[in-house]
Amino acid sequence: MAESKGKGMSVSSRIYLDHNATTPLRPSAREAMVDVLEEVGNASSVHGEGRSARARIESSRRALAALTGSQAKNIVFTSGGTEANVTALTPQITLSGKKRPATRAFVSAVEHASVLGGGRFNPQQVTFLPTTGDGVIDKSQAEELIRGEAKSGCVPFVSVMAANNETGVLQPVAEIAQLAHESGGYCHVDAVQALGRIPVSIAEWGCDMVSVSSHKIGGPQGVGALIYGSEEFRVAPLLTGGGQEGRGRAGTENVAALAGFGAALQNLREEGDEAVRLEALRDWLEAKLLHICESTVIFAQNARRLPNTVSFAVPGMVAETTLIGCDLAGVAVSSGSACSSGKVAPSHVLEAMGVPGDLARGALRLSLGWTSTQDDVERFAGIWRGLVKRMKPAQAGKAA
């Protein structure tokens, strides 16, 4: 059964606007996990208890396949999006049973840290693809770099994110995948922020691998997946020592977490077009931010973006101070990626977009999700109006 919006949170009156970091656990996911925790059985065992655990895993695998246009046999479960990304980014590739290694990785300058690091490629083998001022990959420069390397005998491996975790900007992944293949290479897409917010189809994108994560859609933390576009394509496993996941990832499976992931995936299929509701909330919120302070800058406002994400700054306001102000007022927001051990640091995404340092240091990210309501964004707007008046009184507009 689809869950009602705004339910499932604690009795706290706090406003949660940080769904891109992690979204609240869905009640159905919690119930599925509790059911598993009351059982016993290793999914690799052949007895009844083991077969029951295996059935739960395979049910979740089928649910993910159905939502991403893939085949269950081409899904390898991981501990999350980061592990999926690092597993994918390797020169060690097998195609139709024959080793055909990649020789150079190409990643955009606005990628998640797990991709920016190049995974298992040597740092000297990694080339960064520049972006436009809106944070979209510069396709002409990408083509020049990738085709140029291919002409010299390089086998390119291109990794791009479907949707940016900080700005919500959508990348032309199908075009990038086509470019990679026409250059004799491979393409991986980080769809961690995309799943559940825009359609994800490995077949329509034409890529070789896709990474996803459970806790971005209302499943538990600590579980994700690497999805292959074909059974003919495989990379060397990151974790070895066991035959789990079709020898794609060694280690006893986290059955409870996978059951929760499967329940969250089922909810996504039942919700229908949640993007329409979230986009309406986002657009209302952006209009309100501009009304409260006319000098507000909304980053990548003219680019194709996720329907749930707002990245903005008010000149002269510093993110660290405003984050504290929001938190004290009962609002959870972010200054960007949630993968920096709680640190407030300059955004490499905004830097790649050419945003001036002073403005970038004030950037905040608001991200909506399945629990978000009109009341949430209206209450936030009232709190934000007060913060702007206290911190930048000369720039605060009149309340609506």
Cite the active site residues: 339
CA distance 53 to 43: 5
The enclosing H or E element of 52 equals helix 48-68
378, 320 contact by CB (below 8 A): no
Closest CA to 259 of 228, 227, 219: 219
DSSP class of 15:
E
Three-point CA angle 107, 144, 232, nearest 5°: 55
Residue 357 class from Cβ within 10 Å (0-12 exposed, 13-18 middle, 19+ buried)?
A: exposed
Query: Hey, what are 67's tokens?
Result: 């939502």
Identify the residue whose tokens are 């649910």: 63
Residue 132 identity: T
Residues composing the chain: 400
The enclosing H or E element of 190 equals strand 186-190
Closest CA to 219 of 25, 57, 371: 25
Please, how many CA atoms are within 13 Å of residue 342, restricted to the half-sphere of its CB?
1
Identify the residue whose tokens are 């499943």: 219
Three-state DSSP class for residue 335:
coil
Three-state DSSP class for residue 5:
coil
Give the neighbor-by-neighbor strand order of the sheet with 297-298.
297-298, 309-313, 364-367
Three-state DSSP class for residue 62:
helix
